[in-house]
Amino acid sequence: MRAVQINQYGGTEVIKVNQDIPKPSVQPGQVLVEVHAVSLNRIDSFLRSGYLQQMMPMQLPLTLAGDFAGTISEVGEGVTDFKVGDEAYGQAGVYQGGSGSLAEFTVAASGKVAKKPTTVGMNEAASLPLVGASAIQGLEEHIQTKTGQNILIHGGAGGIGSLAIQLAKFHGAYVAATVADSEADFAKSLGANQVIDYTTQDFTKVLKDFDAVFDLVGGETATKSFKVLKKGGVLVSMAGQPDQQLAKEHEVTAIAQMTQTSTRQLIRLAELVDSGKIKPQVDKVFAFTEAKEAFDYFEQEHPKGKVGLKLKF
């Protein structure tokens, strides 16, 4: 089979479409999936570049990416929730116990796979797993978003942010989002009540007494976010460990989130999509053989929503 792999860490020039790669074998508790579509996440770029090689050492060659949508081709011993031919979606990243999704076939742990949403196609479904699970974990599990709350989402036009805005609005929150000026209309179309251009505006000057911040940016943005929270508020950051001393001084809770995609979250996500509460946001889809171009676009062009690759036409 064909697979998009790296044989060394580096920029997008190290990405290769390798031929005649052995099809991965299914172990107990896994499923083999014929991949139809894939989407990219920041961790895919970090792994390829070697940025995470100390924290998450990988064996090379490495098949890239994790998010997928496709059809179940084989089920391993002990797997009872899927059968051959089921349309499924989930996470097959090597860092999540899979074999990498940018391949004609991938294996994934059955606990990180669910039946695909029925109302969207493969490209849209493939855009959802990691970012959707991240939004659910942050807003429903950590923040426990409720009607009437004020929620600030940093990075509202990206893959996670574009779903987080919709999810917070579904729960009845007032949503403020920081985006670049060119992304303002996009964020408003997703339901954001207030859009702040981070390139020209200081969000701490226009916001106060917020119940929660969902931070997808990190650094100084996370540090400044304590200023807009009310006492008892919550800061959830997906971009590093927030300052616990500042959290104590402001009398708020600060949580560093590392998303671990689960079947439970994926089932919940499919319900939200199929009921029309959340709409997948796909900026651009590339052919499987255009993996380098897809990564270049993803890393250089600040896409609105997700960037995908299509294996089946």
Token representation of residue 92: 């097959």
Percent of the chain exceeding pLDDT 90 equals: 95
The verdict on residue 236 lying in a domain is yes
Residue 75: pLDDT band with limits 50, 70, 90: very high
Residue 275 lies in a domain: no
For the chain, the domain total comes to 2
Co-location of 79 and 157 in the same domain: no
Residue 90 maps to a domain: yes
Shared-domain flag, residues 142 and 250: yes
Of 64, 51, 48, 147, the C-alpha closest to 99 is 64
Spatial contact of 247 and 226, defined as CB atoms under 8 Å apart:
yes
Q: Is the pLDDT of residue 268 over 80?
A: yes
Q: Residue 313's pLDDT is what?
A: 59
Q: Which CATH number fits the domain that encloses residue 244? A: 3.40.50.720
Give 52's pLDDT tier (boundaries 50, 70, 90): confident
Q: Is the pLDDT of residue 96 over 70?
A: yes
Q: pLDDT tens digits for 201-252?
A: 999 999 999 999 999 999 999 999 999 999 999 999 999 899 999 999 999 9
Nearest to 131 by CA among 278, 234, 261: 261
* 287 in the same domain as 221: no
Q: Same domain, yes or no, for 176 and 78?
A: no
Q: Could you tell me the CATH number of the domain that includes residue 39?
A: 3.90.180.10
Residue 100 lies in a domain: yes
**Residue 181, domain extent:** 131-256
Query: Is 21 among the domain residues?
Result: yes
For residues 154 and 245, membership in a common domain is answered with yes
pTM score: 0.95
Q: What torsion do the CA atoms of 209, 210, 216, 221 make, to the nearest 10 degrees? A: -10
Question: How confident is the model at residue 1, as a pLDDT?
Answer: 95
Band (pLDDT 50/70/90 cuts) for residue 86 is very high
